[in-house]
Amino acid sequence: MNKSDLSQYCSGKTEPNQDKLYVLGLALGVSEAWLMGYDVPMERNNFRNVHDHGDHSKPSCSLLLYGHDEQDLILQYRKLSVLGKSEALKRISELSLIPEYQTLDIPQPNILSNVIELEPARETRRSVYTYYQRLASAGTGEYIFDDIPTDTIEAPYMEYADFIIGVNGDSMEPTYYDGDKVYVEKRQVVEVGEIGIFMVNNECFIKEAGSDGLISHNKKYRMIPGSEHIICVGKVLGRVDE
């Protein structure tokens, strides 16, 4: 870790990621949770095993839980919203990558299924979107938007999505397939590496923005060279999954 990173952490300009938190905690002899500002003891290694029955020869088949017994953890988890449950599981996944927090004999299936009543962590809201049927071409191009009648479609809610458009062709496989529907946020510019909807000489394409042109994920298609005739319509946010 360099001095510049440390300086930015101390000034509050940036925050360390999980890996850097682990390094800092290890170097300073404090817990990552304490570094993050949680109301927990500062010292490291204050974790206890909720299934510890006196055999300290090796960790038992259980989660290492901080300051909670198993039933309390379950109750706290069940109080969370769908988004909260998703974030909780994400944190557990991150912590499981840190060697200090790993146990040696995790049984299969994952112990989480025995401790927490898992629920689908997904957005349940639905919304109605303007729908352009199969007009974003993943092949040789399709005409779009000029006097094209629109339809409406109900789909799972996607933040920032302005409309849904269908994919034609196979040039974006395996990312998007012919017949897929994708969410699009209206934008005049997308960053290099992002997938967008582009107009090229009045034809519509779904492509990845490259530094020198529009890129197809299917290698049998050539790149469309960058030019002043390319107009960005929007950023592709993802596939519509029913």
Per-residue pLDDT tens over the stretch 131-163: 988 777 777 666 556 556 678 999 999 989 999
Q: Are strands 224-225 and 230-239 parallel, antiparallel or unpaired?
A: unpaired
Residue 6 has pLDDT above 70, yes or no: yes
Hey, what amino acid is at 139? G
Would you say the pTM of this structure is higher than 0.85?
no
Query: Contact 126/157 with Cβ under 8 angstroms?
Result: yes
Q: Taking every pair of C-alpha atoms in the chain, what is the biggest distance, in angstroms?
A: 75
* pLDDT tier, 69 (very low <50, low <70, confident <90, very high otherwise): low
pLDDT recorded at residue 144: 56
Residue whose C-alpha is closest to residue 241's, from 155, 167, 174, 172: 155
- Bridge partners of 215, per DSSP, are 208
Q: Which CATH class is domain 126-239?
A: mainly beta
Q: What residue ranges do the domains of the chain occupy?
A: 1-46, 48-122, 126-239
* pLDDT tier, 228 (very low <50, low <70, confident <90, very high otherwise): confident
User: What is the rounded CA–CA span in Å between residue 173 and residue 219?
Assistant: 9
Residue 72 has pLDDT above 70, yes or no: no
Location of structure tokens 């592709």: 236
Q: Which of 73-77, 135-139, 221-225 has the lowest mean pLDDT?
A: 73-77
* pLDDT tier, 77 (very low <50, low <70, confident <90, very high otherwise): confident
pLDDT recorded at residue 146: 55
